[in-house]
Structure 1
Amino acid sequence: MANLKVLIVDDEKPARELLNRLIDWNELGFEVCGEAKNGKEAYEMYIKMKPDIIITDIQMPIMTGLELIKKIREADSEQRFIILSCYEEFSFAREAVRMNVEDYLIKDLLKKEDIIQLLLSVYVNKVQAVKQRVKEDEKAQIKNNEKLIGCIDNQDNVGISECLQLEQNINYAVLIVSIDDYYSSKMNYKEYAKEKIKNNLTSTLERFNDEQKQKIIQTFAYIGNGKFIVIVIITSDSSESFKLKNSFNIVNNLRAAFSTRDQQHTISISISRDFQGVDSFKERYVEANEVLKYRLFLGKEKNLNYNLSIPKLTKMSEQTLKNKIDKIIEDINNNDISKLKKEITDLYKENLSGFMQYNFLKEVNGQLFYLLSNICKQNNITYGELFGINYLPVQMVDQFDTVEEIIEWFIQNFEQAIYIISEKTRYSRRINDAILYIEENYELAISLHDISEALNIHKVYLSRIFKEETGVTISRYILNYRINIAKKLIETTNMKLYEIGEKAGFINSQHFVVCFKKIEGITPKEYRENRKN
């Protein structure tokens, strides 16, 4: 906590100088921010400096100490005062108590230890008060957030109006401030990381008006998944170009303010059209959410303005999409990875002088997932073998921030599918059956005996031909497969390591760690840390 500021008020200069020299202010956590020789001068300094403590004499010309306290108390009930006076009159002390001062000290009886003890007491109380206020503000903010989001979902204009407190004849805009890479960095799985980034953004938004020396942010709320809704005041100028310039100035200043508090993360900010009144708010909120989706095309760390982005939308024809999907199928059948990469990239990059409509992008994603699913069915490939999880991860690409990340994910999985198909065609039917049994039952305590029984093959014969065709024993193949499953789970989920070990079919966590280190040369924990870095 920064040093508390102290203002010394006394009409006698020697008294001010003595008090200034009497104490090592900095060592106690204080600094003397100013000195005043009367109440009027002190009040002007109070307005300018906002001291934490005012130490004041009583009898002074122009404005007395008690008059000073009374004037400040009218506007600030929490200001801390210490009276230091030559007068022991009961009436003065009684008035001081009534005004809720910290203490009333007599100059002639003053000891250094007394003032130090009093200051330390004030310091502790101030720190506790600040902490309590922060907690109360956080609770109020959380409550307001929940109320606002609930009112938006329920289209409760009265509740929205209470939360936003919009003024008449003022132009506003809705911003959605979104943390980039919130999912791909797996930040959403780390509670401490979530709280840190939320605190950085909250601090930026809370202090923005003071730092800009004007009211720009009307209100804000955290809406989950690394996103804040922010209502800002924009110029009432009728010129659209001036409004655009004003809104971009606001978001650029907001981005700069955030970067001073957090150099590790970036943010994307979407901007709705301007509006007045709560009746238009819901529509602008939808606009801001819609335009944020076009981060996929424009990239991260960008300002996404509804007026500039939405008019650029284009759509690929259904026949063009079908032709491109057919080419991808042909590339897979020919094991032509180079052409496959080009076709998938072109599929998403088609006509992106504008932006592909977001809903049509979902259609393209769906077509590729359908194609992956068919490949698995036609070639006896389990989802666990291809994706590391036992289901088709259709929600995975929704977590990416850019089209480039979607392209990369699909290319990787199509490449993996081609590799698995080529591996399967290398082996005889019996070995493929054995491998399929392992892939479907790796979570169980399977052995050579179990596989031979299931396939109705003598275990000695199966062991020999398996080693001849694959180059490894069945037990080693099972171990390698389990390790690969564990690696995919480490890379793609937030599961605890012991849970991953169990899921991959290891007896216990110790067995998992020993086997993992034997194959990979490092422990599962070290592997996860390396992936983070």
Structure 2
Amino acid sequence: MYKVMLVDDDYPVIQLLSETIEWEQLGVSLQSTHENGASAFEKAISEMPDILITDIGMPKMNGIELTKKLKEQNPNLKVAILSCHADFAFAQQALKLQVQDYLIKDTFDPADLRQLIKKFKETLDEQNTKMNKHLQIQNLLNQNKESVKEKFIKKTIEQPDMNEGHWLSEAKSLGLHLDQSAYIGSLGMIHHYSSVKELYVSEDTLNFAVNNVVAEEIKRCYPGAVHFQHGIKGLFVFFPSSLILKRNALTEAMECMKRIQHALKRSLNISLSFITGDGCRDLSEFKQELVHLINGCHQRFYLKPGTIVEQKEAREAPTEDLFSRYDEAAAEMRELIMLRDEARITEYVTKWVNFLEENQFAPELVKDWVLKLLLDLRVKLHALQLFRSQQTIDYMHNEIFEIQFLDELKSWLLNYFHSILSFVKEVYEQTKRKEILDAFKYVTMNIEKKITLDEVSSYLYLNPSYFSRLFKKEVGETFVEYVTKMKINRAKELLEQTTDSVGKICERLGYDNQSYFIKIFKNYVGVTPIEYRGGKA
């Protein structure tokens, strides 16, 4: 809906027009009213109107000055002068500013203004239709051009044998002159792509917007540089440079990358990080530059939004085993959820993300570790009747493995834990079986201690006999059977995730007799603890 600004120092006129003109029915909205031009101009800076209806003689800034200033900001602004001045000089000034109509208050009829607004709306509709068609055509042309460039990069990477002469000719048509200059390559990747994408109608629209901003910024700060789209989340930029003075050339290229980052952040609120390559002089080196940049996923995973770094050789594997800390992370996570401690979610996620960053574990290993944590939590919550996920395991797997940066993983985990905790709290608040849920929580929190029926009954302030009957009725098994099952599940986790001996695990779980523990384990699992660990190795 088009926005109308009404400006007149005669308040009765503003009141009359505000109340007698059916703005909404005319397909416009009365954005604001003002009693002087200065106030109207200040408002228009933050929210530009489509239609201006203004008096001429006003304090602080008259209507002619206001029209001139707003036309400089919005040349398509439609203006109607509503004034008591019949002087030809005023009308002449208005005509010079391409004012669409000049209405005299003495002979003014609101019906004239209604007709004028209808005419303004029709003109604006026509202009917008033409503009949209132009943008659609331009969009299609740009999409086709970017598609050709992307296919060129893909072909360069994937085809083993290429005719260098033909390749140089095609590269030249796309603005890449490797027969005349060396280039420094860089790979830029969009952070939090999923969140960014939600703000746009489609991925094509987002890519179109990004490519436009990058192209405009390159034209300003580094003419001769060429950018190529890389999938839906990234882009290559190649900067013509002398590799003899590589350090100077790299500094200039990085300045341009910073400007690209600032432009994307300012206009589209997109964070981009860059990794720069070693430079290239011919087809072979160009191809090598592309491959090295793409394969730098380890270094890229740990980049912060808005950073620019030089490509590094792959790091040596960390000395610490990530899965040796699994049991600790899992225990803290269970405690967090079972105690419904929302305040500690950020602290927990930050602690473990910092640990991952300090050790720079391989991204795929990190994702495996996180996925296992979440799947184990999911199984436990299902067993406790506290959670039923609508998402399949495959969906969760795909979501996590689509994440490209550690900072994205951190945001994803924070959102996930908050949603899980919200659901658990809701179950606790709605269920009529709070005693059973509290018993579940008690067992989970004390699984590595000896747990008795009397002890839990006392914790719940219930008679042991009553609690025993209630538990069997609600859960379908006795309390002792439930505790044994949960302890055996915990024993399986310890056998898989630690190097503790069977005796140590037996002791940790509160069993006094190792032979009894082994017998119970075999009854539930079908094999002894040693056989179970051997089968999982």
Q: What range describes the TM-score normalised by the shorter chain of this pair? A: 0.3 to 0.5
TM value normalised by structure 2: 0.45
TM-score, normalised to structure 1, is 0.45
